[in-house]
A and B are shown apart, each in its own frame.
Chain A
Amino acid sequence: MSDLPILEMTGIDKTFPGVKALQQVDFRLFPGEIHTLMGQNGAGKSTLINVLTGVFPHDLGEIRLAGRPVSFAAPLEAEAAGIQTLYQEVNLCPNLSVAENIFAGRHPKKRGTIDWKAINTKTREALAALDLFVDVTRSLDSYPIAVQQMVAIARAVSVDASVLILDEPTSSLDDGEVARLFAVLRRLREAGMAILFVTHFLEQTYAVSDRITVMRNGTREGEYLAKDLPVDVLVAKMTGREGANEALKADASDAARSASAAAPFLSMQGVGRRGLMSPVDLDVCPGQIVGLAGLLGSGRTETARLVFGAERADTGTMRIDGHSVKLASPRDAVRHGIACCPEDRKKEGIVAALSIRENIILALQARRGWWRLLSYARQRKMAEQYIAQLGIKAHDAEQPIGLLSGGNQQKVLLARWLATEPKLLILDEPTRGIDVAAKFEIMDRVRSLCAKGLAILFISSEMSEVVRVSHKIAVLRDRRKVAEIAGEHLSEDQVYQLIAGGQS
């Protein structure tokens, strides 16, 4: 690590209409370090990065790159100056091939035409560094989202840059992929690159960071060396709440894991679909949280889609409240009292240009039919009620949902389904890309609903989360249910063993 920062931001102010997003924020980044930016949703992490890379201008303050004052009018200018950024959402072209995506805008040429051979070989090399071996000529959207994210990372790290910014690059990666990404980051650090890393995962922060800057409510809380900052102190600084970690621990012990004695609300026997999911048996009782554990691609989302009718099952029988049903569409599922917050919030959840109010009432209105419109007054009341109840941060119910942060969008989607008063709620990665505090708020809410008799099917890549909240866990591997554990048997280690194929 050298003594002079490659990047220095001092006294940065940024105001959006009605919101002070950044206030007097200082930030510095040294070459040869991995520096993690932490904070809750709305703390200003993404705004700080956007200001730095010229997505939008700042109001006050100074940015220095290698000692010289800079001000980028557009991300391209920042890139030209050696700042490579991987933004939070995968921003690639799904219809182009993997290789085209990695070399888009900087195609190597040979005799005036694009050198496809070189592109494909170099892409394979770049991906091999991340232990990813895929057909680079196939279109990007033919791969799962995790692979897409790895491709985005490969693109970002394959450019020679002095500063690399990664805004939540690991949100859809499994542990192995994260480990490989970190290996690459460490290699880049040794080579003297300055890396700014944004994540919500505490473990990952400590696994890879040299230095941590904590932000809260648009201000900088402080800058620390990672080894000098215990995790409970970090959480307290992010939330501004002393002893937040105690609450966190209390959560783990409090989980009343009593199996429900009630008859199952949902009962699946051998429900599956060829090419999608091997037949699964699964019961979910009212007041019970059933976790689905497994790696990416193990069939978690696929199971959820079968339960929700988004995919039609071709074998098995499904019973809801004791009655045999066939779910041909999500509409059927909704009519039977099933609700589902999907995995891909942006693509399958929010209707971006519609307001918070319209997004909240959409599912309820869809069930009522097009003819019986909920009155505006009732819509408004409902929206305001949920905004207050779930603590959705927005200045108005008429704000388009697309402008909210990820955590708040997720809360709106939760509100959308709660408005339909469901009996079974499927939560597919409800806390992905959401900060710690919002995560606990959402999970608290889910648990209190469950206590009132709601059945919940819970999916998350964070094993500790699944183990902590679930009364029962179905373990999936290779699109097949391999085990079901409940009661005292619930421990992370055991779930990992089952996933890895060990005998229990």
Chain B
Amino acid sequence: MKRLHALARHQLLWPALTLILLILLDVAHRASFLSLTILDGHLFGAPIDILNRAAPLVIVSLGMTLVIATRGIDISVGATVAMAGAAAAVILEADPSRVGMALGAALAVGLLAGMWNGLLVAFVGMQPIIATLILMVAGRGVAQLLTGGQIIPIGAEGYLRLGDGYLAMVPCSVWIALVVSVVLTLLVNRTALGLFVRAIGINPVATRLVGLRSSAIVFGVYVICGLMAAVAGIIISSNVRSADGNNAGLLLELDAILAVTLGGTSLLGGRFSLGGTVLGALIIQTLTYTTYSIGVPPEATLVVKAVVVIVVSVIQSEAARAMLLKPMKNLFSPARQRASTGTSTS
């Protein structure tokens, strides 16, 4: 009973239940939803497809989680995705053999973007949403300057394998997302970073007064977020075999913020869960898949998505749950204590 209680209060319970519910819905609609087949030594099937498509979102959302936990937000990740892809594409266009250099350039762009945001937020002291709004707008411009306003096709074999290829039967992008998740989780739990990030999110004033260099931590968190966006940018550009300054990663920041919230991380900072964020990103991708597969007309998918998001968010709120459950409880136990102690004066 006690264990059940602990489970009921576990942070990951609601996102996990949501995901399971979505999967059940899919299975009900098509019994073979969960079945995997092996073709040419590669795994195929709906779950693999969802994981593959969710990979960039998972990666971006993980970075976003840490930023949000410090009471910040980074709405420039979509633009960083575009810049990173563009930087890689420009190098590969000149010489398709320089895959390593292209990857390095893409990551360097992410690093610079993160440092810029971190500088503005942690050291200049700007509001995070305004500070990152600058790069959200300017970054698209930079990406277009890099690509010369064109969509640059990418043909380099090695680079394309990252977003399109397979390793041990599973898509490379899934592996990348997995590695990033594991590395970040270790970074947060095996060092004091997680503790510091939570402390800053809960009480920044007290955190500074214990002698912690809060601004350095906040700066670092934005750098991580920028790097994650760059990794996602590599996968996305590799997957679509081109760099598109205008549309790559468009509105990705909003999906990432949504994934973080669905995963149970508070937008007010402090409490965060990387595992929850991964689940949140998978929920979003599964939902997209589900709306298509059960035949929601394309023009209605966004509305359906919005409704599901609202429902999930409401269910996650403890206050809302209590409000919804209250009338039910009264139904089951009408002889509550209040009745015996009398009612309030009017």
Tell whether A and B belong to one assembly: yes
Instruction: Mark A residues whose CB is within 8 Å of B.
Output: 57, 59, 62, 65, 68-73, 77, 81, 308, 310, 329-331, 333-335, 340, 342, 347-354, 358, 362-363, 365-374, 416
Q: Which residues of A contact B205 (CB under 8 A)?
A: 347-348
Say yes or no: B210 contacts A334, CB within 8 Å.
Answer: yes
B212 within 8 A of A: yes
Q: In the complex, given contacts A334-B211, A342-B206, A354-B199, what are 9 additional A-B residue pairs having Cβ atoms less than 8 angstroms apart?
A: A71-B341, A81-B344, A334-B210, A342-B209, A348-B205, A362-B207, A363-B210, A366-B210, A373-B191
CA distance A340 to B206 in the complex (A): 11
The 8 A-B residue pairs with the shortest CB-CB distance, nearest first, are: A334-B211, A366-B212, A69-B342, A363-B210, A331-B211, A71-B341, A370-B192, A351-B203
Say yes or no: A71 contacts B196, CB within 8 Å.
Answer: no
Which single member of B190, B198, B211 contacts A333 (CB below 8 Å)? B211
Say yes or no: A352 contacts B191, CB within 8 Å.
Answer: no
CA distance A70 to B346 in the complex (A): 10
B345 within 8 A of A: yes
Q: Using an 8 Å CB-CB cutoff, how does the interface string of B272-298 with A read, 1 for contact, 0 for none? A: 000000000000000000000000000
B305 within 8 A of A: no
B217 within 8 A of A: yes
- Nearest chain A CB to B5 CB, angstrom units: 11
Say yes or no: A351 contacts B192, CB within 8 Å.
Answer: no
CA distance A392 to B211 in the complex (A): 24
Say yes or no: A351 contacts B345, CB within 8 Å.
Answer: no
Closest B residue to A331 using CB positions: B211
B63 within 8 A of A: no
CA distance A69 to B342 in the complex (A): 6
Which single member of A333, A354, A366 contacts B202 (CB below 8 Å)? A354
Instruction: Mark B residues whose CB is within 8 Å of A.
Output: 190-193, 195-196, 198-199, 202-203, 205-213, 217, 270-271, 337-338, 341-345
| 7 A-B pairs in the complex with CB atoms less than 8 angstroms apart | A70-B345, A81-B345, A340-B209, A370-B193, A371-B192, A374-B192, A416-B210
Per DSSP, chain B at the interface is helix
Say yes or no: A68 contacts B190, CB within 8 Å.
Answer: no
Q: Which residues of B contact A70 (CB under 8 A)?
A: 342, 344-345
CA distance A300 to B211 in the complex (A): 21
Say yes or no: B341 contacts A373, CB within 8 Å.
Answer: no
Given the known interface contacts A57-B337, A348-B206, the answer about A370 and B344 at a Cβ–Cβ threshold of 8 Å is no
- Nearest chain A CB to B336 CB, angstrom units: 10
Q: Which residues of B contact A370 (CB under 8 A)?
A: 191-193, 196, 217
Q: Which residues of B contact A81 (CB under 8 A)?
A: 344-345
Q: Which of A73, A77, A329, A347 has most chain B Cβ within 10 Å?
A: A329
CA distance A151 to B52 in the complex (A): 59
- Nearest chain B CB to A113 CB, angstrom units: 30
Interface contact tally, CB-CB below 8 A: 102
- Nearest chain A CB to B333 CB, angstrom units: 15
CA distance A354 to B194 in the complex (A): 12
- Nearest chain A CB to B224 CB, angstrom units: 12
- Nearest chain B CB to A326 CB, angstrom units: 16
Which single member of B193, B206, B217, B342 contacts A350 (CB below 8 Å)? B206
- Nearest chain B CB to A31 CB, angstrom units: 17
Say yes or no: B210 contacts A77, CB within 8 Å.
Answer: no
Given the known interface contacts A71-B341, A71-B342, A354-B198, the answer about A367 and B192 at a Cβ–Cβ threshold of 8 Å is no
Say yes or no: B195 contacts A71, CB within 8 Å.
Answer: no
Q: Which residues of A contact B192 (CB under 8 A)?
A: 365, 368-374
CA distance A134 to B342 in the complex (A): 45
CA distance A465 to B30 in the complex (A): 76
Say yes or no: A353 contacts B271, CB within 8 Å.
Answer: yes
Q: Which residues of B contact A354 (CB under 8 A)?
A: 195, 198-199, 202
Say yes or no: A71 contacts B211, CB within 8 Å.
Answer: no
Q: Which residues of A contact B198 (CB under 8 A)?
A: 351, 353-354
CA distance A369 to B202 in the complex (A): 19
Q: Which of A70, A334, A353 has most chain B Cβ within 10 Å?
A: A353
Closest B residue to A400 using CB positions: B202
Q: Which residues of B contact A416 (CB under 8 A)?
A: 210
CA distance A367 to B338 in the complex (A): 52
Q: Which residues of A contact B206 (CB under 8 A)?
A: 342, 347-351
Closest A residue to B198 using CB positions: A354
Closest B residue to A59 using CB positions: B337
Q: Which residues of B contact A374 (CB under 8 A)?
A: 192
Q: Which residues of A contact B345 (CB under 8 A)?
A: 65, 68, 70, 81
CA distance A276 to B313 in the complex (A): 47
CA distance A108 to B337 in the complex (A): 38
Given the known interface contacts A73-B338, A353-B270, A354-B198, the answer about A310 and B193 at a Cβ–Cβ threshold of 8 Å is no
Say yes or no: A350 contacts B211, CB within 8 Å.
Answer: no
- Nearest chain B CB to A5 CB, angstrom units: 16
CA distance A367 to B206 in the complex (A): 15
CA distance A347 to B210 in the complex (A): 13
CA distance A358 to B195 in the complex (A): 8
CA distance A348 to B209 in the complex (A): 7
CA distance A384 to B296 in the complex (A): 57
- Nearest chain A CB to B322 CB, angstrom units: 13
Q: Which residues of B contact A71 (CB under 8 A)?
A: 338, 341-344
Given the known interface contacts A70-B345, A373-B191, the answer about A331 and B199 at a Cβ–Cβ threshold of 8 Å is no
- Nearest chain B CB to A16 CB, angstrom units: 16
CA distance A379 to B92 in the complex (A): 50
